[in-house]
Amino acid sequence: MSDVVVMLVDNGSTRAASVLSLRAIAARLAAACGHPVHPVSLQHADRVTPDQLDGIAAQVLPVFLRNQLTAGLRKFIVVPLIFGNSRALTSFIPEQAALLAEEFGPFELRLAEALVPLPRGEPLLARILAEQAAQCSAVLGTRPTRVVVVDHGSPQPEVTAVRAKVTMGLRDYLEEGIALGQAVMERRQGAEYDFNGQLLADMLDSCAAQDPHAVVILAMMFISPGRHAGPGGDIETICRDAMQKNPGLRVGISRLVGEHPLLVDILNQRLRALL
């Protein structure tokens, strides 16, 4: 395996905190598998200045692969830090590999499964969300009336199906009487995208309308901090606005998936399936 370059790959963000999170998870995966793991983003991360990243520039996939091929390396494994089989995995990575193969000749690039392969799903991810939600509830000091799984949102039904699968698994961990819902941060307009679910702000208003004293825990289906999740993200603002608008409403935001130690267990399973 010494000649195989292993990459932990996320979609990428212009937020330094997201790049640092990817690096931390890659380091934990490397410790678990006993092999170097390179943190690489598909796009965007190279726009973060190195002075925000401990002086080390972020790596993006096209440039990283080009540099490795130039150095004579020909075997690569991509471990996706991505929930489902999005176009990032089905289109972007194969397209970039094909472009580089035209220039450097054939090389081997193997793609591990996403965090939640369908149809079987990933029980450990439901457990992660359950434990993060329980911790959030403990901080609030009260039992929630509803848990809402929140993700970025996607125009692809197969990606939305991943959130639905995880939510079904989460149900097994919740006490009887706690309602369970789903919400998104982004969705396209039009009835043809209704499968994607309700926007978070609308979901919180609905919860308050049904129960003015609702206690809602957001089970965050986000791996790293970014524009939506984490300190200063849109979700914090939406929750604050919803509670100001609905004074009896209480909303707690769980920690992110990338902060839970079980995430590395999932990633290590995906990697070892290819070795």
Q: What's the pLDDT tens digit per position in 100-117?
A: 999 999 999 999 999 999
> pTM to 2 decimals?
0.94
Q: Structurally, how many domains does the chain consist of?
A: 2
Mean pLDDT across 6-21: 96
In a shared domain, residues 102 and 129: no
Q: Flag whether pLDDT at 1 surpasses 80.
A: no
pLDDT at 61: 97
In a shared domain, residues 110 and 128: no
Task: Identify the residue with better confidence: 112 or 196.
Answer: 112
Percentage of the chain lying above the pLDDT 70 cut: 100
Q: Flag whether pLDDT at 189 surpasses 90.
A: no
In a shared domain, residues 14 and 70: yes
pLDDT at 159: 87
Round the average pLDDT of the chain to a whole number and report it: 95
Q: Does residue 267 fall inside a structural domain?
A: no
In a shared domain, residues 39 and 159: no
Whole-angstrom Cα distance, residue 18 to residue 10?
Answer: 9
Domain with 199, as residue range(s), is 123-259
The residue type found at 174 is: L
Q: How confident is the model at residue 182 (pLDDT cuts 50, 70, 90)?
A: very high
Q: Does residue 273 fall inside a structural domain?
A: no
In a shared domain, residues 105 and 162: no
pLDDT at 47: 95
pLDDT at 261: 96
Q: Does residue 269 fall inside a structural domain?
A: no
Choosing from 56, 88, 114, the residue where a domain stops is 114
Whole-angstrom Cα distance, residue 171 to residue 193?
Answer: 25
Q: Does residue 38 fall inside a structural domain?
A: yes
Q: Does residue 137 fall inside a structural domain?
A: yes
Percentage of the chain lying above the pLDDT 90 cut: 89
Choosing from 114, 141, 158, the residue where a domain stops is 114
Which CATH number goes with the domain that contains 17?
3.40.50.1400
In a shared domain, residues 54 and 131: no
Q: Can you give the chain as a three-state secondary structure string?
A: CCCEEEEEEECCCCCHHHHHHHHHHHHHHHHHHCCCEEEEECCCHHHCCHHHCCCCCCCEHHHHHHHHHHCCCCEEEEEECCCCCCHHHHHHHHHHHHHHHHHHCCCEEEECCCCCCCCCCCHHHHHHHHHHHHHHHHHHCCCCCEEEEEECCCCCHHHHHHHHHHHHHHHCCCCCCCEEEEEECCCCCCHHHHHHCEEHHHHHHHHHHHCCCCEEEEEECCCCCCCCCCCCCHHHHHHHHHHHHCCCCEEEECCCHHHCCHHHHHHHHHHHCCC
Summarised one tens digit per residue, pLDDT across range 205-247 is 999 999 999 999 999 999 999 889 988 899 999 999 999 999 9
Mean pLDDT across 68-94: 96
pLDDT at 65: 98
Q: Flag whether pLDDT at 76 surpasses 70.
A: yes
Q: Does residue 48 fall inside a structural domain?
A: yes
In a shared domain, residues 145 and 192: yes
Q: Does residue 130 fall inside a structural domain?
A: yes
Q: Flag whether pLDDT at 54 surpasses 80.
A: yes
pLDDT at 24: 98
Q: How confident is the model at residue 154 (pLDDT cuts 50, 70, 90)?
A: confident
Q: Does residue 161 fall inside a structural domain?
A: yes
Q: Flag whether pLDDT at 8 surpasses 70.
A: yes
The residue written with tokens 């193997």 in the block is 110
Mean pLDDT across 238-260: 97
